[in-house]
């Protein structure tokens, strides 16, 4: 389908039986986390296909309208971001189409895991908790929830029990711990299976976190 998001795809050494869709942050692209894959040290028998979509290029209001890859426009760079919610919802629909493409490749939804960093994490959050078929899990990295108001009215029952791992840097000055905690506490209060882990780092990934991500992916797909 020509309207699918362009993606970087890493195939396993054997036919894939699971997929990870990993969303980059604002201003980056799908290549951003490709180098991380070997360091996850996943067992070969997991047979995971990694999909790294490229966000569209669009003007970003908080950056004086400068065009860059962004999953949605950020209207105000406040601690709790003021965003263009229609952009976020439209992007989530595009991620849904990627999930469906994997289904067409005989990867069931329950073998598909979403990972998102920063702005990509907001997309991963919203997509996972609203997706109507059970997913393997969600890993939210250095991120926040783009829409929290009245979300309990639209949550999908299918993913009320999925495992959610939240990772955040204690020295993150881009997405504050308080903003990230709001997402965590919101889903915790709704009885999601969600856990939190902090690292001595800024707005980035660190080696110990990468090792944890590998372990989480293995657990979610085993």
Q: What is the pLDDT of residues 20-42, one digit of tens each?
A: 999 999 999 999 999 999 999 99
pLDDT (0 to 100) of residue 1: 39
User: Distance between CA atoms of 29 and 90, rounded to whole angstroms?
Assistant: 18
The tokens for 65 are 């309208």
Q: For residues 139 and 81, which has the higher predicted lDDT (pLDDT)? A: 139
pTM of the model: 0.97
Q: Give the confidence band of 153 by pLDDT, cuts at 50, 70, 90.
A: confident
Q: What is the mean pLDDT of residues 56-66?
A: 95
pLDDT reading at 2 higher than 80: no
User: Distance between CA atoms of 33 and 210, rounded to whole angstroms?
Assistant: 11
SS3 of the chain: helix, strand, coil, percent, to 5: 35, 25, 40
User: Distance between CA atoms of 214 and 212, rounded to whole angstroms?
Assistant: 5
| CA angle centred on 148, ends 145 and 149, rounded to 5° | 160
Answer yes or no: 172 catalytic.
yes
| CA angle centred on 14, ends 13 and 18, rounded to 5° | 105
Closest CA to 107 of 217, 15, 222: 15
The tokens for 25 are 């942050």
Q: Which position among 19, 118, 126, 142 bears the catalytic label?
A: 118
Answer yes or no: 118 catalytic.
yes
Q: Report pLDDT digits (tens) over 97-125.
A: 999 999 999 999 999 999 999 999 999 99
User: Distance between CA atoms of 147 and 150, rounded to whole angstroms?
Assistant: 8
**For the chain, what is the mean pLDDT?**
96
Q: Tell me the backbone φ, ψ of residue 218, rounded to 5 degrees.
A: -60, -45
pLDDT (0 to 100) of residue 3: 79
Q: Report pLDDT digits (tens) over 7-22.
A: 999 999 999 999 999 9
Answer yes or no: 39 catalytic.
no
DSSP 184: H
Cβ contact 58:106 at 8 Å:
no
pLDDT reading at 203 higher than 50: yes
User: Distance between CA atoms of 135 and 125, rounded to whole angstroms?
Assistant: 12
Q: Tell me the backbone φ, ψ of residue 183, rounded to 5 degrees.
A: -65, -45
What CATH fold (topology level) applies to the domain 7-221? Rossmann fold (3.40.50)
Q: Which position among 130, 203, 212, 218 bears the catalytic label?
A: 203
Exposed e or buried b per residue across 86-114, where buried means at least 16 C-beta atoms within 10 angstroms of its C-beta: ebbbebbebbeebbebbeeeebebebbbb
């Amino acid at each position: 389908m020509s309207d699918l998001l362009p993606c970087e795809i890493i195939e396993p050494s054997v036919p894939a039986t699971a997929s990870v869709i990993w969303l980059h942050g604002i201003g980056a692209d799908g290549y951003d986390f490709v180098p991380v894959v070997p360091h996850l040290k996943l067992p070969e028998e997991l047979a995971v296909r990694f999909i790294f979509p490229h966000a569209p290029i669009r003007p970003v209001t908080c950056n004086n309208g400068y065009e860059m890859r962004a999953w949605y426009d950020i209207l105000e760079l406040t601690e709790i971001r003021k965003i263009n919610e229609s952009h976020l919802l439209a992007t989530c629909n595009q991620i849904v189409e990627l999930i469906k493409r994997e289904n067409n490749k005989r990867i069931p939804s329950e073998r598909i895991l979403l990972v998102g960093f920063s702005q990509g994490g907001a997309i991963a959050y919203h997509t996972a908790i609203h997706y109507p078929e059970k997913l393997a899990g969600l890993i939210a990295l250095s991120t926040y929830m783009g829409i929290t108001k009245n979300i309990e009215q639209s949550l999908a029952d299918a993913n009320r029990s999925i495992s959610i791992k939240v990772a955040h840097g204690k020295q993150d000055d881009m997405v504050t711990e308080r903003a990230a905690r709001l997402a965590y506490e919101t889903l915790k209060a709704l009885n999601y299976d969600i856990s939190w882990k902090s690292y001595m780092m800024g707005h980035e990934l660190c080696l110990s976190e990468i090792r944890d991500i590998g372990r989480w992916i293995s657990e979610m797909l085993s």
